[in-house]
Amino acid sequence: MNLTQIAGIIRYEIVMAVRRRTPIILLLLMMVGLIAFSLIARDSTERSGIFAEGMPVQINGLDVRVYAPTSSLFTALVATVVIGVIGVVFFTNEVIPLDRQYRMTEVLAATPMSRATYLAGKLAGVWVTLLAIAGLVGGIGLIAAAILLPGYDVRLFLAVWIVFGVPMLLMASALAVLLTSWAGSRRAAILLALLVMPIAVILLSIGLLSLGAVVVFVEPAYGFFLLPPPGADIVALTRERIAGGLPVVIGVPALAWLLAWGWARLREAR
């Protein structure tokens, strides 16, 4: 692979993404989602009567004033990642099909660039853009959550966002870019993206129960969503979950790469 060529494609992809307004739309989508779901989760927590007079001040060994906003934040973060993944699938699927629609692939075929370099450049371009968006959402989200859910555990936010949220967004974009790379037009890419979306959502649920379980390492009490059997060692259970889910979350995008690259090699004999 030629790194200079990859760097050129990355730069071009970032510029094109900005011109298509993709970063700002995804940023707004996820920020609105995070704020809206934080408000809904906060409302649900307050209605549950958890702060009422006579209720225990500790839940699973944690102060209720920390546990309640943190569990609300966890729900809001997961919902934001779901919305983000759906948005990413629909806004990154056109990256390669647009080149085909505008006949750029014919120009590229005349250049000494391998399919692997082309695919890697396109994917890296999308990932760099997404990492910037994820960084912004994370940064602004930390402040927004401090206002909406005062007292939340910052460590949980960082753990969920870095270990679960960002990898899920990258995984979804990889699936969208690679599995729609056969499409000859933007419209065909969207139709293929409709097939990619359920795969991404199922992988997201697998990721939640494996990568999302990282919250147990922050505080075992935050692993409430894992529904551990009574008396089980939740830390050991989490390790098992991560070890079981990680190969699937990494393996499926890797398989998508092989399919996209193999198809391109077969079709264009390069």
Would you count residue 75 as binding another protein (CB under 8 A)?
A: no
237, burial (CB in 10 Å: exposed 0-12, middle 13-18, buried 19+): middle
126 and 94 Cβ atoms separated by less than 8 Å: no
Would you count residue 197 as binding another protein (CB under 8 A)?
A: yes
Choose which of 201, 209, 246, 259 interacts with another protein (CB under 8 A): 201
CB of 183 to another protein, least distance (A): 11
Choose which of 87, 220, 223, 245 interacts with another protein (CB under 8 A): 87
Restricting to residues 98-117, name those near another protein by CB under 8 A. Answer: 101
Closer by beta carbon to another protein, 86 or else 226: 86
Among 82-90, 123-131, 226-234, 261-269, the segment contacting another protein (CB under 8 A): 82-90
Choose which of 107, 202, 243, 255 interacts with another protein (CB under 8 A): 202
153 is written with which tokens?
Answer: 């555990």
236 and 87 Cβ atoms separated by less than 8 Å: no
244 and 237 Cβ atoms separated by less than 8 Å: no
CB of 218 to another protein, least distance (A): 26
Q: b vs e for 168-198, b when ≥16 Cβ sit within 10 Å of the residue's Cβ?
A: bbbbbbbbbbbbbbbbeeeebbbebbeebbe
Choose which of 64, 140, 190, 209 interacts with another protein (CB under 8 A): 190
Choose which of 65, 155, 186, 239 interacts with another protein (CB under 8 A): 186
Restricting to residues 136-175, name those near another protein by CB under 8 A. Answer: none
Of 210, 237, 169, 215, nearest in space to 70 by CA: 215
Closer by beta carbon to another protein, 159 or else 183: 183
Count residues near another protein (CB under 8 A). 26
131 is written with which tokens?
Answer: 């990492």
Tell me if residue 241 falls in helix, strand or coil.
Answer: helix
Residues 24-53, mask of contacts with another protein (x by CB under 8 A): ----------------x--xx---------
Query: Which DSSP string corresponds to 214-240?
Result: GHHHH-GGGGGGG-PPTT--HHHHHHH
Would you count residue 198 as binding another protein (CB under 8 A)?
A: yes
DSSP strand pairing (58-59 vs 62-63)? antiparallel
Question: Cα–Cα distance between 189 and 99 in angstroms, integer?
Answer: 12
Would you count residue 94 as binding another protein (CB under 8 A)?
A: yes
- Start-to-end C-alpha separation, the chain: 14
Closer by beta carbon to another protein, 125 or else 220: 125
Binding site for another protein (CB under 8 A): 20, 40, 43-44, 83, 86-87, 90-91, 93-94, 101, 185-187, 190-191, 193-195, 197-199, 201-202, 205
